[in-house]
Structure 1
Amino acid sequence: MSDAPATPARIEELLRASDPLDAARAAGVAGGRTVTVLREPPAGALVDGDVEGSVDDHRAAHAAGRASEAAVAYGAGHDPADVAARIAALAALARETGLLRAVCPVPAEGTAERPGSWGVEDLTVVAACRLALPDDVAVRPHWRRLGPAACQIAVAFGASQWLVPEDDRTELDRLAGGVGAGLERA
């Protein structure tokens, strides 16, 4: 929630912290947000989906006048330094072009020994994204992998958008209202 860039070292520090509330406070996240709900990704935009596309691909799309949405993979098998570098690179791109519309943290699939991500990790990555990215770039937690309850809590950590599948019947107004957020349908 800042127009000043957060350094990769600061982002990594937040990702390695054990208290996501500290990350949320550092990101300046406050109540009273509005959550925008989408039912499908925007048409015509370059959308990573569940797999990170290269920053160069996003830059090329922006050079051609296309907006984009970028994934940030994290969790099992992803080093926090690499995650921090990805977030910082996307934040720099957003400031450079103005065409990055959303960043979507995507937790790893995980294994029987270790889940793809821990709840604290999910919230911390959301807060780190909010800290690093300009205010006009949405932070969108992964609805299918995290579920409605975690996406609701993520709003308190800086999430500003949900991509809710068409077949999902969650009461979105109540979900947003439960964390003091307004709801806007796109």
Structure 2
Amino acid sequence: MIFTPTTLEGSYVIDIEQYSDSRGWFARFFCKKEFSAIGHDKEWVQLNHSANFRQGTLRGMHFQCPPFREIKMVRCIAGSVFDVIVDLRKESKTFMNWYGTELSATNRKMLYIPEGFAHGFQTLSDNSELIYHHTEFYTAGSEGGIRYNDPRLNIQWPLSVSIISDRDKTHPYLDQHFKGI
């Protein structure tokens, strides 16, 4: 695997290294040794799968509050998405900055998201699917969200939003009182 740091401290785009022959290809997308080299020492405790039927669907921007902050690793296994993370760690040099990248079944890239980040994505194609790895169990009541179109962040979503949940479109805007997580 090839770990390329993003512009946000502690996050990485991960490229798999494919080994191909006449049968097809093989690649590893997790190795405890390789992940420990970037400081990852937590166990993946939950895996989730998201299916999204229409292009332009937006999910996000989600996070879990302390003490249930989690590391996520996201991979698109069908279609393509524009995946976005926002650094909400008040002690970070990249606090309140965002990063976006395309994840697709074709490019096979993954995004490693440290604790203290909000995460969301917009589908770039119909029938897009993502696999999420989490280091913390989902804990009802500890989840949070920020508005996907918050002017303070000015995230540049590539498409008009075609579908979004009521919950996601009504997450609070950031304001001067937000102190981070």
Q: Give the structure-1-normalised TM-score.
A: 0.29
Q: TM-score, normalised by structure 2?
A: 0.29
Structure with larger Rg: 2
Higher relative helix content: 1
Question: Which structure features the higher share of strand residues?
Answer: 2
Point out which structure has higher relative CO (alpha carbons under 8 A, 6+ apart).
1
